Each structure stands twice: as structure tokens, then as C-alpha cells.
Amino acid sequence: MSHMTNPLATPDRLFQRRSFGALPLELQDTIFFATQCLTQAAGILLQLPQSVTAQANVLLARYWLVEPLMAHEFSDVSAATLYLTAKCSPHPRSPRDLSNVYAYLLSASSTFFSPPTAPNNNNNNNPSAYYVSETAYQAFHTRLLALEGRVLYALSFDTHVALPHPLAVTYLQALEFLHVPKETIGGKAVQYLNAALLSPQMLYLTSQPNTLAVAAIYNAARDVGAKMPECEWWEVFDVEREELGFLVVGMRSVEGWGRKLREDMKAMGVERGMIMRKHVEAELSRRGLGVRIGNKVDAEEEAARMMDEKMEAMEVAG
């Protein structure tokens, strides 16, 4: 049964991570939510199966449980976990592919986290905004490999992730529903399971796949008005009522929570696109909570890198 279960975070570890970190809780939640969304978007553009992207989301959550959020750029951590997960699957992706995808998602031409009223047409697409020079690619490649090793070390090379999605399908086959096709409930259940990956409550780190699958089915059945068995059917799948209630509420709160965190990002000056360390540092400075946290890039090195990229872009344009 070990292949159907996950190592779970202890309550003490979660409390320590949330209470004694250098960042306020709302900033931790915003960073986590936005980075998980970025990983999902990158997985779609890389044409990865959702199973691979979901495993990357879980590994990212595990990594940030033991490592500081501000130690590296958030998008780099997302890229490293996605690269590592894809490499261990039948669907590997090259560093060049990831470099191009993340350059686009972080550019002004990307529709990632765009306001709903923003026009989405080809006139807004500016390829130069996400052009990746050879210097930029080499820098990205170096960071990617270094972070991949860091993630493996932090996780003690344990990259096993059991997802609840297959179990949800199996459980649906064992349940009888009236007037509502199982396919409808199945689609809703998968939506809840995917949304749970984004929850700052880290539901995938605190609950086993069977409990997540049952909670998703319960929510899906309630949404479509399906009649569930009148007995305590969740006990058949080894799920307790208390844990089921917690997960049902947690999954249903992700949408509203996401809207709130998006508003928090706007308040920090991130009108669109991905939140970055510089935004968090500026917010910490505004609150008077300290200076820059994490690895600081040397100013001269950063200026030299930007100059090299500009020269290469001019050569390409010429």
C-alpha cells in the first residue's frame, strides 16, 4: 500500500513553518498560491499531463516546508520542481523548453494573471518581450540545475507522490448515483482535486490521497445534486467524518481564497503577471519589517548580465 500513500507533514512542522518564518502569513499564502498557479500554467504550455504537473505542485509544497520561501526566485523554484518531475516521468522536457515557457509567462505579453477586462489579441503580443538570449538561457540553465539539486537534497531524494485522481475514479465506480451521470461528477471531482493543489492550507501535505478523493467526490455530488448513499459511505473508504468535513470546507474555499490573494497582489503593486521577490521585499520595506531576505544578486553582475542580453538582442534584430 506504500505506493498509494504519501509522507505527511506533522502538525508541529506546519506550525513551526507558519509561525516562525520571516514572512507574514498573508505573504506566505500569496507566494504559495501564485507559484502553484504558475506551475500549472507552465505545465499546460509544456503540454505535460496533469498528473506530472500535479506531482510538481506537491513537490514544490514539500520543498517550501523545509526551505525559506525567499531563498530563491519563486519562478525558478517552480521551474526546477517541474523540470525534476518531468524528468522522472515518461514526459521529460528540456531546459530550453522550460526557459522559453517561463520567459513567456513572466513577460508583459503573457496572459498569466491578467485582468479579465484586458484584451486578448495578437496586437498585444510582442515577441521581443520574451526573447531569451543565449546569456539569459545559460543563466537560467545554471539556476535550474542548482535548484534541482537543492530540491532533491531538501526532500532527501524522495520524489514519490501518490495522487488522489485515480482513486477518485475507482471510488466513483463503486458508488451508485441517481439521475446524474458519473462522468459529470467525475469531472467536478477532478476540478476540486486540482484546485486543492493551490490551497495555502497545503491539503496534499496533510491528508492522504483516499481522503482527498472522497472529499472531492462529496463536493462534486453536492454541486450536481446527486443523491449519495444514506449511510456513512465514506467510512468504506477509510475516511473519518471530522477529516472529511475539514477537507470539504478547505476545497470549497480555494476559489474565494484565490480572489482574496489576487487582491493582495494588486495591493502590493502586482497588477498582472507573477509576483517576484522584489515585490515582497518592497512590501516588507513598506511595513518596516526588515531588509531583503534570501540570496542577493551582486549589482555589478546583474548590470553586466543585462548589458550582455541587450547586446545580443541588438545583434539578433540587426
Count Cβ atoms below 10 Å from residue 315 Cβ, excluding itself. Answer: 9
Residues 51 and 73 both lie in one domain: yes
Residues 79 and 37 both lie in one domain: yes
Tell me whether residue 311 is in a domain. no
Whether the pLDDT of residue 128 is over 50: the answer is: yes
Q: Give the per-residue pLDDT at 249.
A: 95
Residues 203 and 225 both lie in one domain: yes
Residues 121 and 184 both lie in one domain: no
Whether the pLDDT of residue 295 is over 50: the answer is: no
Angle formed at CA 41 by CA 63 and CA 267, multiple of 5 degrees: 80
Tell me whether residue 105 is in a domain. yes
Give the C-alpha separation, 147 to 153, whole Å: 10
Secondary structure tally for the chain: helices H, strands E? 14, 0
Tell me whether residue 138 is in a domain. yes
Contact 194, 43 (CB under 8 A): no
Contact 82, 144 (CB under 8 A): no
Residues 131 and 221 both lie in one domain: no
- Which residue did the predictor score with more confidence, 114 or 298? 114
pLDDT in tens, 216-241: 999 999 998 888 888 899 999 999 99
Residues 57 and 32 both lie in one domain: yes
Tell me whether residue 191 is in a domain. yes
Collapsing DSSP states into helix, strand and coil, what is residue 139?
helix
Mean pLDDT calculated for residue range 20-45: 90
Q: Give the per-residue pLDDT at 191.
A: 94
**Lowest mean pLDDT across 147-161, 169-183, 193-207, 224-238:** 169-183
pLDDT band of residue 91 (cuts 50, 70, 90) is: very high
pLDDT band of residue 125 (cuts 50, 70, 90) is: confident
User: Last residue of some domain: 122, 154, 186?
Assistant: 154
Tell me whether residue 131 is in a domain. yes
Tell me whether residue 292 is in a domain. no
User: Last residue of some domain: 230, 252, 274?
Assistant: 252
User: Last residue of some domain: 132, 154, 176?
Assistant: 154
Structural domain count, the chain:
2
**Lowest mean pLDDT across 64-78, 92-106, 120-134, 192-206:** 120-134
**Lowest mean pLDDT across 7-16, 75-84, 182-191, 280-289:** 7-16
Residues 73 and 171 both lie in one domain: no
Q: Give the per-residue pLDDT at 20.
A: 56
Q: Give the per-residue pLDDT at 315.
A: 53
Tell me whether residue 31 is in a domain. yes
Give the C-alpha separation, 178 to 79, whole Å: 44
Whether the pLDDT of residue 111 is over 60: the answer is: yes
pLDDT band of residue 297 (cuts 50, 70, 90) is: very low
pTM to 2 decimals? Answer: 0.85
Residues 150 and 169 both lie in one domain: no
The enclosing domain of 244 has a CATH number of: 1.10.472.10
Q: Give the per-residue pLDDT at 291.
A: 47
pLDDT band of residue 85 (cuts 50, 70, 90) is: very high
Give the C-alpha separation, 205 to 6, whole Å: 8
Whether the pLDDT of residue 33 is over 70: the answer is: yes
Q: Give the per-residue pLDDT at 114.
A: 67
Residues 138 and 174 both lie in one domain: no
- Which residue did the predictor score with more confidence, 158 or 15? 158
Kindly report the average pLDDT of the chain as a whole number: 85
Tell me whether residue 284 is in a domain. no
Mean pLDDT calculated for residue range 240-254: 95
Residues 123 and 178 both lie in one domain: no
Residues 140 and 192 both lie in one domain: no
Domain with 146, as residue range(s), is 23-154
Residues 45 and 139 both lie in one domain: yes
